[in-house]
Amino acid sequence: MTEIPAVPPFYEEEHEEFRGLAREFVAREVAPHYARWDAEHLIPRSLWTAAGGAGLLGLAVPEEHGGMGLTDYRFRAVLDEELVRQGALGVALALHLNDDWVLPHLLAHGTGEQQRRWLPRILTGDLVTSVAWTEPGAGSDLRGVRTRAVRDGGQWVLNGQKTFIGNGISGDAALVLARTDGRTDRAGEDGFSLFLVHKADSPGYEVGTQLDKMGVRASDTAELFFEDVRVPHAHLIGAEGGGLRQIQELLPQGRLAVAVAAGAVARSTLESTLRYTGERTAFGSRVLDFQHSRFELAELTVEVEVTEAYVQRAVHSFNAGTLDVVGASKAKYWASERAKAVTDRCLQLHGGYGYILDYPVAQAYLASRLLTIFGGTSEVLRETIGRDLASDG
Protein backbone atom coordinates (compact mmCIF):
# COMPACT_ATOMS: atom_id res chain seq x y z
CA MET A 1 0.00 0.00 0.00
CA THR A 2 1.54 3.34 -1.04
CA GLU A 3 1.26 6.03 1.60
CA ILE A 4 2.05 9.72 1.62
CA PRO A 5 5.29 9.48 3.63
CA ALA A 6 5.65 11.50 6.81
CA VAL A 7 8.35 14.16 6.42
CA PRO A 8 10.64 13.47 8.24
CA PRO A 9 9.71 9.81 8.95
CA PHE A 10 7.91 9.47 12.27
CA TYR A 11 9.96 6.54 13.49
CA GLU A 12 13.75 6.46 13.50
CA GLU A 13 16.22 3.59 13.57
CA GLU A 14 16.16 3.22 17.36
CA HIS A 15 12.36 2.88 17.35
CA GLU A 16 12.51 0.22 14.67
CA GLU A 17 15.11 -1.67 16.70
CA PHE A 18 12.78 -1.51 19.68
CA ARG A 19 9.95 -2.69 17.40
CA GLY A 20 11.94 -5.84 16.66
CA LEU A 21 12.20 -6.58 20.38
CA ALA A 22 8.50 -5.82 20.98
CA ARG A 23 7.35 -7.86 17.98
CA GLU A 24 9.39 -10.87 19.03
CA PHE A 25 8.05 -10.60 22.60
CA VAL A 26 4.42 -10.33 21.50
CA ALA A 27 4.78 -13.25 19.07
CA ARG A 28 6.34 -15.44 21.78
CA GLU A 29 4.65 -14.41 25.03
CA VAL A 30 1.28 -12.95 24.02
CA ALA A 31 -0.11 -14.13 20.68
CA PRO A 32 -0.16 -17.90 21.40
CA HIS A 33 -2.06 -17.39 24.67
CA TYR A 34 -4.22 -14.34 24.08
CA ALA A 35 -7.43 -16.16 23.05
CA ARG A 36 -7.29 -18.12 26.31
CA TRP A 37 -6.73 -14.99 28.41
CA ASP A 38 -9.65 -13.37 26.63
CA ALA A 39 -11.87 -16.35 27.43
CA GLU A 40 -10.67 -16.38 31.06
CA HIS A 41 -11.00 -12.57 31.33
CA LEU A 42 -7.55 -12.41 32.90
CA ILE A 43 -3.96 -11.80 31.89
CA PRO A 44 -1.68 -13.95 34.07
CA ARG A 45 0.82 -12.20 36.28
CA SER A 46 3.59 -14.16 34.56
CA LEU A 47 3.04 -11.93 31.49
CA TRP A 48 3.87 -8.86 33.57
CA THR A 49 7.11 -10.33 34.88
CA ALA A 50 8.02 -11.54 31.37
CA ALA A 51 7.36 -8.03 29.99
CA GLY A 52 9.44 -6.58 32.81
CA GLY A 53 12.26 -9.01 32.04
CA ALA A 54 12.16 -7.97 28.38
CA GLY A 55 12.47 -4.29 29.34
CA LEU A 56 8.98 -3.36 28.09
CA LEU A 57 7.50 -1.93 31.30
CA GLY A 58 7.92 1.56 32.72
CA LEU A 59 9.86 2.81 29.71
CA ALA A 60 9.98 6.34 31.14
CA VAL A 61 11.46 5.31 34.50
CA PRO A 62 14.82 7.10 34.84
CA GLU A 63 18.11 5.23 34.83
CA GLU A 64 18.80 6.06 38.50
CA HIS A 65 15.87 3.76 39.37
CA GLY A 66 16.97 1.01 36.98
CA GLY A 67 14.88 2.13 33.98
CA MET A 68 15.81 3.32 30.51
CA GLY A 69 14.45 6.86 30.82
CA LEU A 70 12.71 6.58 27.44
CA THR A 71 10.46 9.61 27.66
CA ASP A 72 10.12 9.69 23.86
CA TYR A 73 6.52 8.48 23.50
CA ARG A 74 7.26 6.87 20.12
CA PHE A 75 8.64 3.85 22.00
CA ARG A 76 5.31 3.40 23.82
CA ALA A 77 3.53 3.82 20.47
CA VAL A 78 5.64 1.05 18.92
CA LEU A 79 4.72 -1.33 21.75
CA ASP A 80 1.04 -0.49 21.32
CA GLU A 81 1.16 -1.06 17.59
CA GLU A 82 2.78 -4.46 18.04
CA LEU A 83 0.21 -5.57 20.64
CA VAL A 84 -2.71 -4.31 18.56
CA ARG A 85 -1.34 -5.93 15.38
CA GLN A 86 -1.65 -9.29 17.16
CA GLY A 87 -5.16 -8.43 18.36
CA ALA A 88 -4.03 -8.14 21.99
CA LEU A 89 -5.71 -4.85 22.84
CA GLY A 90 -6.49 -6.17 26.33
CA VAL A 91 -2.77 -6.31 27.09
CA ALA A 92 -2.26 -2.85 25.59
CA LEU A 93 -5.02 -1.48 27.84
CA ALA A 94 -3.63 -3.15 30.97
CA LEU A 95 -0.18 -1.68 30.26
CA HIS A 96 -1.67 1.77 29.57
CA LEU A 97 -3.24 1.88 33.00
CA ASN A 98 0.06 1.07 34.65
CA ASP A 99 2.41 3.10 32.45
CA ASP A 100 0.31 6.02 31.20
CA TRP A 101 -2.17 6.63 34.01
CA VAL A 102 -0.34 5.69 37.24
CA LEU A 103 3.39 5.91 36.53
CA PRO A 104 3.29 9.60 35.47
CA HIS A 105 1.96 10.48 38.95
CA LEU A 106 4.83 8.64 40.63
CA LEU A 107 7.39 10.22 38.31
CA ALA A 108 6.04 13.76 38.60
CA HIS A 109 4.83 13.83 42.20
CA GLY A 110 6.33 10.85 44.04
CA THR A 111 8.85 11.64 46.77
CA GLY A 112 12.39 10.26 46.49
CA GLU A 113 11.48 7.58 49.00
CA GLN A 114 8.30 6.58 47.11
CA GLN A 115 10.20 6.40 43.84
CA ARG A 116 13.00 4.29 45.33
CA ARG A 117 10.46 1.85 46.81
CA TRP A 118 8.04 1.45 43.94
CA LEU A 119 9.65 2.26 40.59
CA PRO A 120 12.02 -0.75 40.53
CA ARG A 121 9.06 -3.05 41.25
CA ILE A 122 7.00 -1.47 38.46
CA LEU A 123 9.90 -2.13 36.09
CA THR A 124 10.05 -5.83 36.91
CA GLY A 125 6.27 -6.34 36.77
CA ASP A 126 6.16 -7.16 40.50
CA LEU A 127 4.01 -4.12 41.23
CA VAL A 128 0.99 -3.91 38.90
CA THR A 129 -1.12 -0.82 39.42
CA SER A 130 -4.60 0.40 38.63
CA VAL A 131 -6.31 3.77 38.46
CA ALA A 132 -9.21 4.02 40.90
CA TRP A 133 -11.02 7.27 40.18
CA THR A 134 -14.45 6.29 38.87
CA GLU A 135 -17.29 5.50 41.29
CA PRO A 136 -20.84 4.30 40.72
CA GLY A 137 -22.02 7.92 41.11
CA ALA A 138 -19.10 9.75 39.51
CA GLY A 139 -17.30 9.07 36.23
CA SER A 140 -17.00 12.06 33.91
CA ASP A 141 -17.54 14.39 36.85
CA LEU A 142 -14.82 13.48 39.36
CA ARG A 143 -15.89 16.25 41.70
CA GLY A 144 -18.72 13.91 42.58
CA VAL A 145 -16.29 11.39 44.14
CA ARG A 146 -17.57 10.26 47.56
CA THR A 147 -14.74 7.97 48.70
CA ARG A 148 -13.25 9.74 51.67
CA ALA A 149 -9.97 9.60 53.56
CA VAL A 150 -9.72 11.00 57.08
CA ARG A 151 -6.37 11.74 58.70
CA ASP A 152 -5.60 9.79 61.89
CA GLY A 153 -2.05 10.54 63.05
CA GLY A 154 0.42 9.05 60.59
CA GLN A 155 -2.33 7.28 58.68
CA TRP A 156 -5.45 7.94 56.65
CA VAL A 157 -8.66 5.95 57.08
CA LEU A 158 -10.20 5.24 53.70
CA ASN A 159 -13.87 4.41 53.05
CA GLY A 160 -15.70 4.18 49.76
CA GLN A 161 -16.37 2.29 46.56
CA LYS A 162 -14.89 2.39 43.07
CA THR A 163 -16.05 0.82 39.83
CA PHE A 164 -14.77 0.03 36.30
CA ILE A 165 -11.24 -0.42 37.67
CA GLY A 166 -8.91 -1.98 35.10
CA ASN A 167 -6.28 -4.31 36.67
CA GLY A 168 -8.58 -4.25 39.71
CA ILE A 169 -8.39 -8.05 40.03
CA SER A 170 -4.84 -8.70 38.87
CA GLY A 171 -3.22 -5.54 40.25
CA ASP A 172 -1.36 -5.04 43.54
CA ALA A 173 -2.05 -1.39 44.23
CA ALA A 174 -4.57 1.24 43.19
CA LEU A 175 -4.06 4.97 42.78
CA VAL A 176 -7.20 6.01 44.63
CA LEU A 177 -8.84 9.44 44.34
CA ALA A 178 -10.49 10.32 47.63
CA ARG A 179 -12.08 13.33 49.25
CA THR A 180 -9.83 14.64 52.02
CA ASP A 181 -11.50 17.89 53.10
CA GLY A 182 -14.26 16.24 55.09
CA ARG A 183 -16.97 17.62 52.79
CA THR A 184 -19.38 15.90 50.41
CA ASP A 185 -20.61 18.76 48.19
CA ARG A 186 -19.33 19.44 44.68
CA ALA A 187 -17.37 22.53 45.68
CA GLY A 188 -13.71 22.55 46.47
CA GLU A 189 -11.25 21.59 43.79
CA ASP A 190 -8.74 21.46 46.65
CA GLY A 191 -10.66 18.79 48.49
CA PHE A 192 -9.28 15.65 46.80
CA SER A 193 -6.05 13.67 47.17
CA LEU A 194 -4.42 10.63 45.57
CA PHE A 195 -3.15 7.61 47.51
CA LEU A 196 -1.33 4.51 46.31
CA VAL A 197 -3.20 1.82 48.25
CA HIS A 198 -1.65 -1.66 48.38
CA LYS A 199 -4.04 -4.58 48.40
CA ALA A 200 -1.93 -7.14 50.28
CA ASP A 201 -1.26 -5.11 53.42
CA SER A 202 -4.60 -3.28 53.62
CA PRO A 203 -7.32 -5.11 55.57
CA GLY A 204 -10.70 -3.76 54.39
CA TYR A 205 -9.54 -3.48 50.74
CA GLU A 206 -11.96 -5.83 48.96
CA VAL A 207 -12.16 -6.65 45.28
CA GLY A 208 -15.81 -6.92 44.23
CA THR A 209 -17.46 -8.31 41.14
CA GLN A 210 -15.46 -8.70 37.95
CA LEU A 211 -17.41 -6.75 35.33
CA ASP A 212 -18.45 -8.68 32.22
CA LYS A 213 -17.33 -6.49 29.32
CA MET A 214 -18.35 -6.84 25.68
CA GLY A 215 -14.75 -6.42 24.41
CA VAL A 216 -11.09 -6.32 25.51
CA ARG A 217 -12.04 -9.07 27.92
CA ALA A 218 -8.50 -10.18 28.74
CA SER A 219 -8.04 -6.94 30.67
CA ASP A 220 -9.85 -7.45 33.98
CA THR A 221 -12.22 -4.74 35.19
CA ALA A 222 -13.66 -4.78 38.69
CA GLU A 223 -15.36 -3.00 41.54
CA LEU A 224 -13.23 -2.11 44.57
CA PHE A 225 -14.45 -1.54 48.12
CA PHE A 226 -12.60 0.20 50.94
CA GLU A 227 -13.84 -0.21 54.50
CA ASP A 228 -11.79 1.50 57.19
CA VAL A 229 -8.61 0.82 55.22
CA ARG A 230 -5.62 2.32 57.02
CA VAL A 231 -3.29 3.95 54.50
CA PRO A 232 0.11 5.26 55.68
CA HIS A 233 0.61 8.98 55.10
CA ALA A 234 3.72 7.95 53.13
CA HIS A 235 1.34 6.63 50.43
CA LEU A 236 -0.13 10.07 49.68
CA ILE A 237 1.03 10.89 46.14
CA GLY A 238 1.63 14.60 45.70
CA ALA A 239 0.19 17.34 47.84
CA GLU A 240 -2.76 16.87 50.16
CA GLY A 241 -5.70 18.47 48.37
CA GLY A 242 -3.90 18.48 45.00
CA GLY A 243 -5.43 15.30 43.55
CA LEU A 244 -7.75 16.82 40.97
CA ARG A 245 -5.12 19.28 39.75
CA GLN A 246 -2.60 16.44 39.38
CA ILE A 247 -5.09 14.41 37.37
CA GLN A 248 -5.73 17.39 35.10
CA GLU A 249 -1.99 18.07 34.72
CA LEU A 250 -1.22 14.46 33.71
CA LEU A 251 -4.33 13.81 31.60
CA PRO A 252 -2.51 14.54 28.32
CA GLN A 253 -0.46 11.33 28.56
CA GLY A 254 -3.48 9.16 29.36
CA ARG A 255 -5.53 10.63 26.53
CA LEU A 256 -2.59 10.43 24.13
CA ALA A 257 -2.25 6.74 25.00
CA VAL A 258 -5.87 6.10 23.99
CA ALA A 259 -5.39 8.11 20.78
CA VAL A 260 -2.31 6.06 19.86
CA ALA A 261 -4.13 2.78 20.56
CA ALA A 262 -7.12 3.95 18.52
CA GLY A 263 -4.89 4.82 15.56
CA ALA A 264 -3.26 1.40 15.80
CA VAL A 265 -6.65 -0.36 15.93
CA ALA A 266 -7.85 1.54 12.86
CA ARG A 267 -4.65 0.73 10.94
CA SER A 268 -4.53 -2.97 11.76
CA THR A 269 -8.25 -3.41 11.04
CA LEU A 270 -7.87 -1.72 7.66
CA GLU A 271 -4.95 -4.01 6.81
CA SER A 272 -6.75 -7.20 7.85
CA THR A 273 -9.80 -6.06 5.84
CA LEU A 274 -7.69 -5.49 2.75
CA ARG A 275 -6.35 -9.03 3.11
CA TYR A 276 -9.81 -10.48 3.68
CA THR A 277 -11.49 -8.70 0.76
CA GLY A 278 -8.55 -9.65 -1.45
CA GLU A 279 -9.17 -13.34 -0.74
CA ARG A 280 -12.95 -13.57 -0.45
CA THR A 281 -14.89 -14.03 -3.68
CA ALA A 282 -18.53 -13.42 -4.59
CA PHE A 283 -20.26 -13.34 -7.99
CA GLY A 284 -17.03 -14.59 -9.56
CA SER A 285 -14.77 -11.76 -8.38
CA ARG A 286 -12.85 -10.71 -5.31
CA VAL A 287 -14.83 -8.58 -2.85
CA LEU A 288 -11.97 -6.07 -3.18
CA ASP A 289 -12.75 -5.71 -6.89
CA PHE A 290 -16.32 -4.45 -6.44
CA GLN A 291 -16.33 -0.74 -7.07
CA HIS A 292 -18.19 -0.14 -3.81
CA SER A 293 -15.54 -2.04 -1.83
CA ARG A 294 -12.71 -0.13 -3.49
CA PHE A 295 -14.39 3.20 -2.77
CA GLU A 296 -14.97 2.18 0.85
CA LEU A 297 -11.38 1.03 1.27
CA ALA A 298 -10.02 4.11 -0.50
CA GLU A 299 -11.94 6.35 1.89
CA LEU A 300 -10.97 4.30 4.93
CA THR A 301 -7.32 4.34 3.89
CA VAL A 302 -7.29 8.13 3.72
CA GLU A 303 -9.11 8.35 7.07
CA VAL A 304 -6.54 6.07 8.70
CA GLU A 305 -3.61 8.01 7.25
CA VAL A 306 -5.08 11.36 8.34
CA THR A 307 -5.67 9.94 11.82
CA GLU A 308 -2.09 8.67 12.03
CA ALA A 309 -0.71 12.04 10.96
CA TYR A 310 -2.82 13.82 13.59
CA VAL A 311 -1.86 11.38 16.35
CA GLN A 312 1.80 11.58 15.35
CA ARG A 313 1.63 15.36 15.65
CA ALA A 314 0.24 14.94 19.15
CA VAL A 315 3.07 12.53 20.02
CA HIS A 316 5.66 15.05 18.80
CA SER A 317 3.94 17.73 20.84
CA PHE A 318 3.96 15.48 23.93
CA ASN A 319 7.68 14.79 23.43
CA ALA A 320 8.30 18.53 23.20
CA GLY A 321 6.37 19.08 26.45
CA THR A 322 3.67 21.16 24.75
CA LEU A 323 0.71 18.77 24.60
CA ASP A 324 -1.96 20.22 26.88
CA VAL A 325 -5.31 18.76 27.90
CA VAL A 326 -7.09 20.39 24.95
CA GLY A 327 -4.59 19.06 22.42
CA ALA A 328 -4.71 15.56 23.90
CA SER A 329 -8.52 15.70 23.98
CA LYS A 330 -8.60 16.60 20.28
CA ALA A 331 -6.30 13.68 19.40
CA LYS A 332 -8.26 11.21 21.55
CA TYR A 333 -11.61 12.46 20.25
CA TRP A 334 -10.60 12.21 16.61
CA ALA A 335 -8.71 8.91 16.76
CA SER A 336 -11.23 7.03 18.91
CA GLU A 337 -14.20 8.18 16.82
CA ARG A 338 -12.32 7.19 13.64
CA ALA A 339 -11.44 3.78 15.12
CA LYS A 340 -15.12 3.24 15.89
CA ALA A 341 -16.21 4.22 12.36
CA VAL A 342 -13.40 2.37 10.57
CA THR A 343 -13.95 -0.90 12.43
CA ASP A 344 -17.71 -0.67 11.81
CA ARG A 345 -17.28 -0.22 8.07
CA CYS A 346 -14.55 -2.89 7.90
CA LEU A 347 -16.87 -5.30 9.73
CA GLN A 348 -19.49 -4.71 7.03
CA LEU A 349 -16.95 -5.59 4.34
CA HIS A 350 -16.48 -8.99 6.02
CA GLY A 351 -20.15 -9.91 5.65
CA GLY A 352 -21.32 -12.52 8.18
CA TYR A 353 -17.79 -13.43 9.22
CA GLY A 354 -17.36 -9.93 10.59
CA TYR A 355 -19.92 -10.79 13.24
CA ILE A 356 -18.03 -13.85 14.44
CA LEU A 357 -15.77 -13.26 17.42
CA ASP A 358 -12.97 -15.43 16.03
CA TYR A 359 -12.36 -12.75 13.41
CA PRO A 360 -10.04 -9.88 14.38
CA VAL A 361 -12.46 -7.34 12.92
CA ALA A 362 -15.20 -8.34 15.39
CA GLN A 363 -12.78 -8.00 18.32
CA ALA A 364 -11.52 -4.66 17.01
CA TYR A 365 -15.08 -3.39 16.64
CA LEU A 366 -15.88 -4.27 20.26
CA ALA A 367 -12.59 -2.87 21.52
CA SER A 368 -12.95 0.41 19.68
CA ARG A 369 -16.36 0.91 21.24
CA LEU A 370 -14.59 1.40 24.56
CA LEU A 371 -12.14 3.97 23.24
CA THR A 372 -14.74 6.75 22.88
CA ILE A 373 -15.79 6.24 26.53
CA PHE A 374 -12.77 5.35 28.66
CA GLY A 375 -10.43 8.16 29.71
CA GLY A 376 -12.94 10.89 28.87
CA THR A 377 -16.06 10.37 26.76
CA SER A 378 -16.28 12.00 23.34
CA GLU A 379 -18.97 14.33 24.72
CA VAL A 380 -16.74 15.49 27.56
CA LEU A 381 -13.82 15.90 25.15
CA ARG A 382 -15.95 18.10 22.86
CA GLU A 383 -16.91 20.13 25.93
CA THR A 384 -13.21 20.61 26.74
CA ILE A 385 -12.36 21.59 23.16
CA GLY A 386 -15.43 23.83 22.86
CA ARG A 387 -14.79 25.63 26.15
CA ASP A 388 -11.27 26.38 24.97
CA LEU A 389 -12.64 27.89 21.76
CA ALA A 390 -15.15 29.96 23.69
CA SER A 391 -12.49 31.24 26.09
CA ASP A 392 -10.39 32.40 23.11
CA GLY A 393 -13.32 34.16 21.45
Ligand X SMILES: Cc1cc2nc3c(=O)[nH]c(=O)nc-3n(C[C@H](O)[C@H](O)[C@H](O)COP(=O)(O)OP(=O)(O)OC[C@H]3O[C@@H](n4cnc5c(N)ncnc54)[C@H](O)[C@@H]3O)c2cc1C
**Which three-class secondary structure state does DSSP give residue 183?**
coil
Strand partners, 131: 175
The answer to whether residue 380 forms part of the interface with ligand X (CB under 6 A) is yes
**Interface region with ligand X, contact rule CB under 6 A, candidates 38-46, 161-169, 233-241, 284-292:** 161-169
Q: Which is nearer to ligand X, 25 or 164 (CB)?
A: 164
Q: Which residues are CB-contacts of 393 (< 8 A; sequence separation ≥ 6)?
A: none
Q: Give the number of other CB atoms < 10 A from CB of residue 356.
A: 10
Check binding of 309 to ligand X (CB under 6 A): no
Nearest-angstrom CA–CA distance, 67 and 320: 21
217 close to 41: Cβ distance less than 8 angstroms: yes
Give the binding range for ligand X (CB under 6 A) out of 29-37, 125-133, 255-263, 314-322: 125-133
Query: 106 or 349: whose CB is closer to ligand X?
Result: 106
Residue 48's contacts (CB-CB under 8 Å, 6 or more residues apart) are: 57, 125, 126, 128
Best CA proximity match to 202, nearest among 163, 164, 171, 179: 171
DSSP annotation string for 184-227: -SS--GGGEEEEEEESTT-TTEEEEEEP--SS-TTS-EEEEEEE
Nearest to 144 by CA among 174, 105, 177, 102: 177
Residue 97: partners with Cβ closer than 8 Å, 6 or more residues away: 129, 130, 131, 166, 167
In this chain, which stretch among 129-137, 288-296, 324-332, 344-352 interacts with ligand X, using CB under 6 A?
129-137
Cβ closer to ligand X: 218 or 311?
218
Does position 56 bind ligand X by CB under 6 A?
A: no
Q: Determine, following the binding rule CB under 6 A, whether residue 370 of this chain makes contact with ligand X.
A: yes
- Round to whole Å and give the CA distance between 287 and 277: 5
Q: Which C-beta is closer to ligand X: that of 108 or that of 214? A: 214
Q: Answer yes or no whether residue 374 interacts with ligand X by CB under 6 A.
A: yes
Residue nearer to ligand X on the CB measure, 9 or 386 = 386
- CB 334, min distance to ligand X, A: 16
Least distance to ligand X, CB of residue 368, Å = 12
Shortest reach from residue 277's CB to ligand X, in Å: 30
**CA-CA-CA-CA torsion for 44, 48, 54, 55, nearest 10 degrees?**
170
Under rule CB under 6 A, how many of the chain's residues touch ligand X? 21
Selected from 18, 73, 133, 205, the binder of ligand X by CB under 6 A is 133
* Maximum pairwise Cα distance, the chain: 78
- Of residues 165 and 266, the one with the C-beta less far from ligand X: 165
Among 98, 193, 221, 336, binds ligand X (CB under 6 A): 221
| Shortest separation between residue 268's beta carbon and ligand X, angstroms | 20
Binding of ligand X at residue 210 (CB under 6 A)?
no
Contact between 134 and ligand X per CB under 6 A:
yes
Contact 23, 82 (CB under 8 A): yes
Which range touches ligand X (CB under 6 A), out of 34-42, 109-117, 160-168, 274-282?
160-168
Task: Pick from 105, 109, 148, 213 the residue near ligand X by CB under 6 A.
Answer: 213
Tell me: does residue 94 bind ligand X (CB under 6 A): no
Of 251, 229, 214, residue with least CA distance to 174: 229
Please identify which residue in 16, 17, 36, 140 interacts with ligand X, judged by CB under 6 A.
140
Determine if 383 is a binding residue for ligand X (CB under 6 A): yes
Q: Which residues contact ligand X by CB under 6 A? A: 97, 130-134, 139-140, 164-166, 213, 221, 370, 373-375, 377, 379-380, 383
